[in-house]
Structure 1
Amino acid sequence: MTHLHSKRLPGPGLGRTLAAVVGLVAALALGAVGQAKAADAPPKVLSEAAPKTPSPMDRWSDQPHGFASLDGGTTGGAGGKVVTVTDQASLAKYAAAEEPYVIRVSGAVAVEPFGSDIVVASNKTITGVGDTGEIVHGELHLNPGTHNVIIRNLTIRDSYVEGDWAGKTQDFDAIQMDTADHVWIDHNRFTHMGDGLLDIRKDSQYITVSYNQFTNHNKAFGIGWTANVKTQITIDHNWFNGTKQRNPSADNCAYAHLYNNYLSAQVADGDPVWTYGNWSRGQTKMVIENSYYDGVQHPYQADATAELVQRGSILKNTTGRHDAWGTAFDPHDFYAYRLDPAAAVPALVAKFSGPQARIGTVLNVPADYPTVQAAVDAVPDGNDSPVTLAIAPGTYRAKVYIPAAKPNLVLQGTGQDRSDTVIVYDTPAQFGGSTGSATVRIAANDVTARDLTFSNDFDEAAYEYSGEQALAMKTTGDRIVFENTAFLGNQDTLMTDSPKLNLISRVYIRDSYIEGDVDFVYGRATTVIERSVIRALSRGSTTNNGYLTAASTWKDNPYGFLVTGSRVVSDAPAGSFHLGRPWHPGGEPDAVAQVLFRDTELPAAVKASPWTDMSGFSWKDARFAEYRTYGPGAAVTADRPQLSDADAAGYTVANYLAGNDGWAPQAQHR
């Protein structure tokens, strides 16, 4: 975009360096409108950054807890490509591959022959897409030596052979592992299989089994089949419902920590011995905490050679053995955790166990992928379900490009504040044009960014280039959301655009911060900026310090830029800033700017006549207006078109964003 603009004036304090400092302070201090935030420390450099440690109470964390988090942790297919499978051949291919993969199972994958194994090799994550991923008639099998596997959010069902209730004729488990280590099994549903639902066998170590449902079965969950005492296992928030035995049975476990599990609707077939809840067998040391047993025979029992400590559990209508002897071990010696109250367990586990639609694919930067771009590149083209790039606190000095082929991404900063996670580069338009200058470019649809700062820290005061454009962000995709984000720059900080003039893209910016001087919010996308702070930076002039907006809205699009419920702030002299000017790229007559400032505070820096011409095009031919603006920079004059109350009813956030598909991201952010 070629601009006519005033040269930056020389003098102390007017350079890009000071502007960056001012902007960073403002980004730290100004949050949602009317809410001040204490300034935090500057962002850490990447070498000092570390992934945010998940809370033990985070039911949606993508990182394992308990024993699977120890001895180097369990990361599954982190760092590998993300693939989506819909058939047995693809699932088997990627699961058995030597290299790491994040494998997403979409829909029901039927396994043939009936009861066959899908072999899972090391360094794999297998997860269901939404809550509909299923493996039917088959088993996931981890051979001896397999390590670092995550299995989440799946239903594995229906390999039961009629008449074989005891599971003696077919060994068709849902998941079976032998001498495996570092495995996390989380938020799955196992039902109606041929033998056991889950068999963890033969010296497997560093295992966590959490938030799963075991239903409609005889032998639910067995651990052991070894004379060695090696297995360390955490079992929490699982629901054993309509099962008979092995809930679980733990044989020769070095450490078995069971907490907040729910046992209900136990199969009652009159068996006096082999109908039971938890069994500490052999040399097992077992600790049970704050679980809930409803109508269970032998809720917890221990061999004379084993140890079992029970505390805080609730027993309702139970009979038979309630064994507890020995000291076992203290789980706090191994890892941090926090217990839910036992009385809350039935409701919590019923709600949160099993596959969950909100559990998505998470790629961690830099823990799993060294750069943000590497994580973007790992996402398959045509991605049709949300993938979250969880970006750890730090300063990432690199450009990022999300191509149109990679929709449905969420860029999520994981720091305590948006200033903790910064993506920054310093390219001006002199090298590669305005698009090439952008630190981040989003060409894909359905992309969301939260809790991040985007910056272009090119120091224009140090150079004498004729063009000083330096974009922090450019979008051309549709249905883009920015929440609690900051955009730092000078000229052309934020460009929201579309692939071509007569295509409409929509962008929703909420609770965010935008700074700049010349045309620093511009483009042709329909863009709503709500409950945000816009800082107009001084260029040192007493008469013209710049322009907030430069819209190039297509003439047939009624909605361009809406700034609503926000604050404009500035350190520029009074009467030295324009609200905007009409941009006609390349002299395009069908680009007719539409901009509305609504219910927004304006500073004294705003000119009494705030709209101005651009490149020979009159601002009076554009669609510029205000409605109920206030503050020292607000006024009602002949040079400040105002919407009537009747007209304003049609210029709402909902109308700007709805389009032809009813998109309403604002409804999710109220």
Structure 2
Amino acid sequence: MTHLHGKRLPSLGPGRVLATVVGLVAALALGAIGEARAVPAFQPRTVAAEQPRTPAAEQRPTVAADRLTDRPHGFASLDGGTTGGAAGKVVTVTDQAALATYAAAEEPYVIRVAGSIAVEPFGSDIVVASDKTIIGVGDTGEIVHGELHLNPGTHNVIIRNLTIRDSAIAGNWDCKDTDFDGIQMDTVHHVWVDHNRFSNICDGQLDVRKDSEYVTVSYNRFENNNKTFGLGWTTNVKTQITIDHNWFAHTKQRNPSVDNAAYAHLYNNYLTAQVDPGDPVWTYGNWSRGRTKMVIENSYYQDVQHPYQADATAELVQRGSILKNTTGRHDEWGTAFDPRDFYAYRLDPAAAVPALVRRFSGPQQRIGVTLHVPGDHPTVQAAVDAVPDQNSEPVTIAVAPGTYRAKVLIPATKPNIVLEGTGHDRSDTVIVHDTPAEYGGSTGSATVRIAANDVTARHLTFSNDFDEAAVELKGEQALAMKTTGDRIVFEDTAFLGNQDTLMTDSPKLDVISRVYIRDSYIEGDVDFVYGRATTVVERSVIRALSRGSATNNGYITAASTWTGNPYGFLITRSRIVSDAPAGSFHLGRPWHPGGEPEAVAQVLIRDTALPAAIKSSPWTDMGGFSWQDARFAEYRTYGPGAAVTADRPQMSPSEAASHTVADYLEGTDGWAPYAR
């Protein structure tokens, strides 16, 4: 026998290579525990073909998620696109000084505005430099009494999810003597203004001026204003702008006014409840001015005077819009342009626009920060490093399909991270390494280690493809994943390895951490689900890999639950599968790290299918500790490997009533990830 981190390990004969989704081939030969005989190597297999898949429909973004996407569309997506500050660090600001400092910095930043920031002196500018994202936290981030100002030459700016309000001076409706805009930009390019609310500004709520290019303005609310949204202030005809899904309510003019734009594409906007509709000239909806080429599609105009109009020198094409109780000008002439010559877009039916825009425009609780790998950051670790310490708001790290051969550490100082593969299937995005425990212990061998609280991973594969047959080692543990944080969720993930594939642990024995795994896949052979964290595996597939023995191919669990914790491992509503010979696999054994007597395993397997590979006496001793002193039980298991015997403790219905998913996870804080 050999030993490592307190676990007794079998002697290894000729081993096998872990088969992974990246096409590695398996060849296994391992004697039974206590035996020295070699066994034949296995034939190649492909794990990717064996993993159960989440239906594609469940993995596609919902309509809501699609409308809250963090990537711009329309003209802001062209000519290199607009990414804002996503290549830089994430910071959170709560006061004017911090906002002004980060917004004007030379380096890229994602700047989260938390709460309301009142700008002084009244009407002052906050200068925004290139490569910045300014985004409200939740739906409560506000800029009050001030303007976000983009100077000439500024580029690659995203402004999202903010309320910008109340820089109007009482009684000064026309604002002729002030220039207190909500956002003003002059001669800029690649700007996305999205999901903001503008209210009571003096004068323009949004001014896009002086040859600004590649601009998209989407899902904003423009409210309670006179001069709302203007474009132009130039004799040149350069601006390209997309304006979609915006709500103009209680506004008088410039909804928008577009002067000398090369291309202005307006679609699915909602204009209603104008202020001062009795003004025969300066109360209007959309105006194509100068030499503008404007296309309006599937918008909705309700109680609007002059819904759309065009100068004789301009062009305006309108199609598919709904006009309800409108008066005045409805101009259409010229051919303008075809937006689809520039970009693809989804056109909602005009009849659906009021409901869609009311629901999705303006700041949204669900909009957050997303960092893309490899687009914004070259590696997953670089994106993790960009998240601020003691992070209080969710940051999503979106990982593009591919195989990433690297280790990843999410340290305890960086909570509230969502690690998400963006492929069609979890096998599309693989994080893999090949370090065994002999070179760094169990912690050092882990491909991915999560020490932070409140981390979610989804649509990913985690693998350790160390070839335990290639070299002679004292221990063959090679972790794909180790967690020590609390409130960890894995959704639609795969964990690939051999010995010690998945360790769910806690910072120390008497600290309880919780892990919830659902709709996932776990494979291995020896102790491949282990540790002391309270862990629920639900609606998942667990594959017990054959090591080639006719009598003992390994152990599924090796829990080390603290004796003061009534809840260790729960495997429920799942399937355990195996190609090992009948009666050759254990459900588990009790792990007492370093001989710790207070580590008393608790494992319940309930409502789960068991294969014929499971032994008739499925629990066994470990390191001199009897399995009968641990807390092992089954409840309503079924399939060829299920049985009720003296060696298989069965939980009673009354006991099972207090051993549900909720009982394991809720703790004292009511954590309920299973309810999502």
Q: TM-score normalized by structure 1?
A: 0.95
What is the CA distance between 1:78 and its match in structure 2?
Answer: 1.8
Kept in 1, the 8 Å contact 2:620–2:627? The answer is yes
Cross-structure match for 2:341: 333
In the alignment of these two chains, the number of paired residues is 653
Residue 407 of structure 1 pairs with residue 415 of structure 2: yes
Counterpart Cα distance in 2 of 1:22 and 1:66: 51
Aligned partner letter, 1:301 = Q
Q: Provide, for residues 330-388 of structure 1, a one-character-per-residue CA deviation record: whole Å limited to 9, x for no partner.
A: 00000001100000000000000000000110000000000000000000001101100
Residue 496 of structure 1 pairs with residue 504 of structure 2: yes
Aligned ranges 1:595-610 → 2 under 5 Å? 595-610=603-618
Q: 2:177 aligns with which of 169, 182, 207?
A: 169
Cross-structure match for 2:652: 644
Kept in 1, the 8 Å contact 2:271–2:285? The answer is yes
Cross-structure match for 1:216: 224
Cross-structure match for 1:267: 275
Aligned ranges 1:121-520 → 2 under 5 Å? 121-268=129-276, 270-520=278-528
Cross-structure match for 1:573: 581
Q: 2:46 aligns with which of 25, 40, 49?
A: 25
Aligned partner letter, 2:380 = V
Counterpart Cα distance in 1 of 2:369 and 2:323: 37
What is the CA distance between 1:464 and its match in structure 2?
Answer: 1.1
Counterpart Cα distance in 2 of 1:12 and 1:580: 22
Change (3 A) 1:142 1:288: same
Q: 1:7 aligns with which of 11, 23, 46?
A: 11
Kept in 2, the 8 Å contact 1:29–1:36? The answer is no
Kept in 2, the 8 Å contact 1:6–1:544? The answer is no
Matched residue SS, 1:76: coil
Matched residue SS, 1:507: strand
Counterpart Cα distance in 1 of 2:209 and 2:668: 55
Kept in 2, the 8 Å contact 1:424–1:454? The answer is yes
Matched residue SS, 1:156: strand
Residue 632 of structure 1 pairs with residue 640 of structure 2: yes
Counterpart Cα distance in 1 of 2:515 and 2:456: 10
Counterpart Cα distance in 2 of 1:380 and 1:599: 42
Matched residue SS, 2:337: coil
Counterpart Cα distance in 2 of 1:84 and 1:383: 9
Aligned partner letter, 2:418 = V
Counterpart Cα distance in 1 of 2:430 and 2:551: 33
Residue 531 of structure 1 pairs with residue 543 of structure 2: no
Cross-structure match for 1:98: 106
Counterpart Cα distance in 1 of 2:606 and 2:62: 40
Matched residue SS, 1:344: helix
Cross-structure match for 1:44: none
Kept in 1, the 8 Å contact 2:560–2:592? The answer is yes
Identify the range of structure 1 (15-24 vs 580-589) with the bigger mean alpha-carbon deviation. 15-24
Kept in 1, the 8 Å contact 2:25–2:45? The answer is no
Counterpart Cα distance in 1 of 2:267 and 2:194: 15
Kept in 2, the 8 Å contact 1:9–1:541? The answer is no
Cross-structure match for 1:84: 92
Matched residue SS, 1:430: helix
Cross-structure match for 1:69: 77
Counterpart Cα distance in 2 of 1:563 and 1:617: 23
What is the CA distance between 1:194 and its match in structure 2?
Answer: 1.4
Matched residue SS, 1:308: strand
Matched residue SS, 2:353: helix
Counterpart Cα distance in 1 of 2:43 and 2:540: 17
Residue 555 of structure 1 pairs with residue 559 of structure 2: no
Aligned partner letter, 2:470 = A
Counterpart Cα distance in 2 of 1:394 and 1:342: 39
Kept in 2, the 8 Å contact 1:30–1:36? The answer is no
Counterpart Cα distance in 1 of 2:358 and 2:417: 30
Cross-structure match for 1:42: none
Kept in 2, the 8 Å contact 1:24–1:488? The answer is no
What is the CA distance between 1:170 and its match in structure 2?
Answer: 1.2
Cross-structure match for 1:47: none
**Aligned alpha-carbon RMSD (Å):** 2.0
Matched residue SS, 1:460: coil
Kept in 2, the 8 Å contact 1:521–1:549? The answer is yes
Cross-structure match for 2:35: none
Kept in 2, the 8 Å contact 1:439–1:455? The answer is yes
What is the CA distance between 1:3 and its match in structure 2?
Answer: 2.8
Aligned partner letter, 2:46 = V
Gaps of at least 5 residues in structure 1 are 39-51
Kept in 1, the 8 Å contact 2:221–2:248? The answer is yes
What is the CA distance between 1:53 and its match in structure 2?
Answer: 12
Kept in 1, the 8 Å contact 2:205–2:228? The answer is yes
Kept in 2, the 8 Å contact 1:54–1:61? The answer is no
Kept in 1, the 8 Å contact 2:144–2:164? The answer is yes
What fraction of aligned residue pairs are identical, expressed as a percent?
A: 79
Aligned partner letter, 2:371 = L
What is the CA distance between 1:6 and its match in structure 2?
Answer: 2.9
Kept in 2, the 8 Å contact 1:173–1:198? The answer is yes
Counterpart Cα distance in 2 of 1:279 and 1:93: 37
Counterpart Cα distance in 2 of 1:342 and 1:55: 17
Q: 1:659 aligns with which of 661, 667, 674?
A: 667
Counterpart Cα distance in 2 of 1:507 and 1:14: 25
Q: Provide, for residues 247-284 of structure 1, a one-character-per-residue CA deviation record: whole Å limited to 9, x for no partner.
A: 00000000000000000111125210000000000000
Counterpart Cα distance in 2 of 1:629 and 1:534: 14
Kept in 1, the 8 Å contact 2:129–2:154? The answer is yes
Change (3 A) 1:363 1:12: closer
Kept in 1, the 8 Å contact 2:244–2:269? The answer is yes
Change (3 A) 1:145 1:37: closer
Matched residue SS, 2:81: coil
Matched residue SS, 2:536: strand
Aligned partner letter, 1:118 = I
Kept in 1, the 8 Å contact 2:536–2:664? The answer is yes
Cross-structure match for 2:125: 117
Change (3 A) 1:494 1:14: closer
Aligned partner letter, 1:571 = D
Identify the range of structure 1 (363-372 vs 1-10) with the bigger mean alpha-carbon deviation. 1-10
Cross-structure match for 2:36: none
After TM superposition, the runs of 4+ consecutive aligned structure 1 residues lying more than 4 A away are 11-16, 19-24, 35-38, 52-57
Matched residue SS, 2:438: coil
Counterpart Cα distance in 2 of 1:232 and 1:212: 18
Identify the range of structure 1 (330-339 vs 20-29) with the bigger mean alpha-carbon deviation. 20-29
Matched residue SS, 2:222: strand
Q: TM-score normalized by structure 2?
A: 0.94
Counterpart Cα distance in 2 of 1:27 and 1:559: 32
Cross-structure match for 1:59: 67
Kept in 2, the 8 Å contact 1:8–1:540? The answer is no
Matched residue SS, 1:348: helix
Kept in 2, the 8 Å contact 1:56–1:337? The answer is no
Change (3 A) 1:24 1:477: farther
